Each structure stands twice: as structure tokens, then as C-alpha cells.
């Protein structure tokens, strides 16, 4: 006997679940990876917004971490990504979502792998916390370091994850000293 036999369609739990899933499906998956897309905003060296199916989608480039805007080379990293992608056709290889709700993806702009290009040009690090050990991005980073490209012109560049950690620690210290007065 079917699970909803004898129940009206409106109150059948299975029908209700199906209706809810269908209602929220566009929110959970706002764009298909193969849908035509265009980069309409560049937020920093590893985050853009693309317009796909008339919907904006905030993209965090996977496996790389670019300097923060307040960090040395942060603005140059953003400019490099804008030069590469802004206003251009974009192809996405979606990998998931991060804790901030951004879509994680490999991004190609007019056929150029933006994730790899940011590392190759020296405007992003390989994000060792997330990149696979055999990622070709490591070789691109070593090449950029050896050639002294981008942030590698600095004698001792600070990785963004380290820079963020130091800022959080400093902010905590200020809060603790303020609360002890």
C-alpha cells in the first residue's frame, strides 16, 4: 500500500516534502555550471560575482587564497583578477559552498583558468588547507616564487591565512585589555 494512500494530496508528508524541495531547489543551486555566465564584479583577488541565468552568484575561487585588500599586494591581486575576468564570459566548475554561503568553484574567463593564473602571476597562494597535495598549483607557485612575480617580490610575504590569524589575535587582545579597565 502506498505511503500516502487514503490521505489527500495536500497533507501527504511525501508530497509536502517534494513540494518543499522543489520550492527551495533554485535557492540551493542557483546556477548550473554549464549555464552561460559573465563576471559582473570582482571583490578581491579570489572572489567574484557572476551573472548566470539572470541571477548573481558570488564565487570564491577554490584552492587559492589571495592577499586581503588591507594587506600588501591585496589591491594588485584584485586588479589582476579584474583584468583577467571582469566583463568576460565565465565557465564554472562548482565544488560546493563555504561557511559564508559563497559558491566554491574553479573559474575560467574566456578559457583561461583564473585560479591557476592568479597563482602563476604571483597574486595568490595555493591554499594548502584545501588544495590537494598533487595539485598543479604548487608548481605554478614555485615558478612564481623563483621568478619573483607579484607578491613574491616581497622578501617575506605573509600568507593571507596567517595575516587574518594575526588580526584576530590582535583584536582579541584589544577586547581583553578594554574589558579589564
49 and 6: one domain?
Answer: no
Of all residues in the chain, the percent with pLDDT exceeding 90 is: 72
Q: Which helix (H) or strand (E) is 84 found in, with range?
A: helix 74-85
Band of pLDDT at residue 28, cut at 50, 70 and 90: very low
Written as nine digits, the cell of 68 is 586581503
Q: Judge whether 60 counts as a catalytic residue.
A: yes
Rounded to whole angstroms, the Cα distance separating 74 from 143 reads: 20
pLDDT of residue 57: 97
Domain CATH code at residue 163: 2.40.50.90
Instruction: Find the catalytic residue in 102, 106, 120, 121.
Output: 102
Q: Which of 14, 38, 68, 168 is catalytic?
A: 68
Q: Please check whether residues 98 and 12 belong to one and the same domain.
A: no
Q: Which structural domain range is residue 42 located in?
A: 31-179
pTM of the predicted model as reported, rounded to 2 decimal places: 0.77
Lowest mean pLDDT among 5-14, 60-69, 166-175: 5-14
pLDDT tens per residue across span 86-131: 999 999 999 999 999 999 999 999 999 999 999 999 999 999 999 9
Q: What secondary structure letter does DSSP report for 71?
A: S
Same domain as 124, residue 44: yes
- Asked if residue 68 has pLDDT above 80, the reply is yes
Residue 68 among the catalytic residues: yes
Give the active site residue among 14, 32, 38, 60: 60
Reply yes or no on whether the pLDDT at 175 is more than 90: no
Q: What is the mean pLDDT of residues 145-151?
A: 97
- The domain total for the chain is 2
User: Quick one: 40 and 2 in the same domain?
Assistant: no
Amino acid at each position: 500500500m502506498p505511503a500516502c494512500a487514503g490521505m489527500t494530496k495536500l497533507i501527504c508528508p511525501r508530497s509536502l516534502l517534494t513540494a518543499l524541495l522543489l520550492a527551495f531547489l533554485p535557492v540551493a543551486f542557483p546556477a548550473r555550471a554549464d549555464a552561460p555566465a559573465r563576471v559582473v564584479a570582482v571583490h578581491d583577488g579570489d572572489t567574484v560575482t557572476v551573472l548566470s541565468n539572470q541571477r548573481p552568484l558570488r564565487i570564491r575561487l577554490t584552492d587559492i587564497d589571495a592577499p586581503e585588500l588591507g594587506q600588501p599586494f591585496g589591491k594588485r591581486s584584485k586588479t589582476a583578477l579584474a583584468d583577467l575576468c571582469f566583463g568576460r564570459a565565465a565557465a564554472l566548475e562548482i565544488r560546493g559552498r563555504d561557511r559564508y554561503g559563497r559558491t566554491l568553484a574553479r573559474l575560467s574567463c574566456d578559457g583561461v583558468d583564473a585560479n591557476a593564473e592568479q597563482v602563476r602571476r604571483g597574486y595568490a597562494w595555493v591554499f594548502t588547507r584545501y588544495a590537494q597535495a598533487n595539485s598543479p598549483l604548487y608548481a605554478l607557485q614555485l615558478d612564481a616564487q623563483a621568478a619573483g612575480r607579484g607578491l613574491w617580490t616581497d622578501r617575506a610575504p605573509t600568507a593571507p591565512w596567517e595575516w587574518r590569524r594575526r588580526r584576530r589575535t590582535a583584536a582579541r587582545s584589544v577586547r581583553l585589555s578594554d574589558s579589564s579597565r
